[in-house]
Amino acid sequence: MSTVQESIEVEVPLSTAYNQWTQFEDFPRFMEGVEQVTQVDERHNHWRTKVAGVTREFDTEIVDQLPDHKIAWRTLGGEVRQMGVVTFEPLDEARTQVRLAIDFEPDGVAEKAADAMGLVDRRVKGDLKRFKSFVEERGVAEGGWRGRITPGS
């Protein structure tokens, strides 16, 4: 397993950053390589990605979600194996620290090489920068789901 950890400060209130992150179907607007995310229900999403010409589809499950604090997920079966957590910390009334940690299993020689060269870290860092621009340009979230999902439920 490999781990990527990145963080960024966004100049929006905590609830705005958190609410926008819960809009999973907007992820292709700021995540490189993500072509589509379909929210199946409150807990499950279906993803289609295309990285280095390789298209993959996989499902994720939210395993822990605490409004204005964190969202943790894992993939379900398939060839993509990852889990992660995004956390939100207020810095003041108008700024939020967003931290993203992802554990993943590179699949195949190309993914292992990309991981070894730090390409995954740079991609995650770029995604967070694009999220910052995306949410700051709007100033408000385009929606938000504030339900609680507890581990093991």
Q: Which amino acid is at 71?
A: I
Between these two residues, 57 and 109, which has the higher pLDDT value?
57
Rounded CA-CA distance 105/90 in Å is 31
When the pLDDT of each residue in the chain is averaged and rounded to a whole number, the result is 92
CATH topology assigned to domain 2-23+62-138? Alpha-D-Glucose-1,6-Bisphosphate; Chain A, domain 4 (3.30.530)
Containing 129, the helix (H) or strand (E) segment is helix 119-138
Q: What are phi and psi of 90, to 5 degrees?
A: -70, 135
Q: pLDDT tens digits for 2-25?
A: 899 999 999 999 999 999 999 999
Q: What is the pLDDT of residues 62-89, one digit of tens each?
A: 999 999 999 999 999 888 899 999 999 9
Give the C-alpha distances (Å, rounded to integers) separating 126 from 35, 68, 131, 142: 16, 23, 9, 21
Q: Is the pLDDT of residue 145 over 80?
A: yes
Percent of the chain predicted with pLDDT > 90: 73
Domain boundaries in the chain? 2-23+62-138
- What 3-state DSSP class applies to 122? helix
Q: Read off the pTM.
A: 0.92
Look at residue 112 in the predicted model and tell me its pLDDT.
Answer: 67
Q: 90-136: per-residue pLDDT in tens?
A: 999 999 999 999 998 877 776 766 666 777 889 899 999 999 999 99
pLDDT at site 31: 96
Strand order in the sheet with 70-76: 2-10, 95-104, 82-92, 70-76, 54-66, 44-51, 34-39
Q: How far apart are CA 102 and CA 72, in angstroms?
A: 10
For residue 153, the SS3 value is coil
Strands (E), the chain: 2-10, 34-39, 44-51, 54-66, 70-76, 82-92, 95-104
